[in-house]
Amino acid sequence: MLLGVINAVVRPILVILTLPLTLITFGLFLLVINALTLKLVTVFLHGFHVNGFWPALWGALIVSVACWIGQALVEKQRRW
């Protein structure tokens, strides 16, 4: 739930601030933003640890794929 709040509040600000860099990297910098938001969750949620940037990047990639699959399933249900 905390990741959702941070994604709703902090992530849009980061996306707007880093828009030129995101465009230059063809959107790949969004993975870095996702990793930073996942790492930010560790600041507020005690007992949840991400050891470094690369594990945060892999975790962000997994979360992104899971959200993408979930969104596709919800969209498929709406069509019925």
**Model confidence at 1, in pLDDT bands (50, 70, 90)?**
confident
List of residues 6+ apart from 53 with CB closer than 8 A: 35, 39
State the SS3 of 30-74: HHHHHHHHHHHHHHHCCCCCCCCHHHHHHHHHHHHHHHHHHHHHH
Would the pTM of this model clear 0.85, i.e. be above it? no
- CA 31 to CA 74: how far, in whole Å? 23
pLDDT at 62: 93
pLDDT at 4: 86
pLDDT in tens, 34-76: 999 999 999 999 898 999 999 999 999 998 899 899 889 988 7
CB 53 within 8 A of CB 36: no
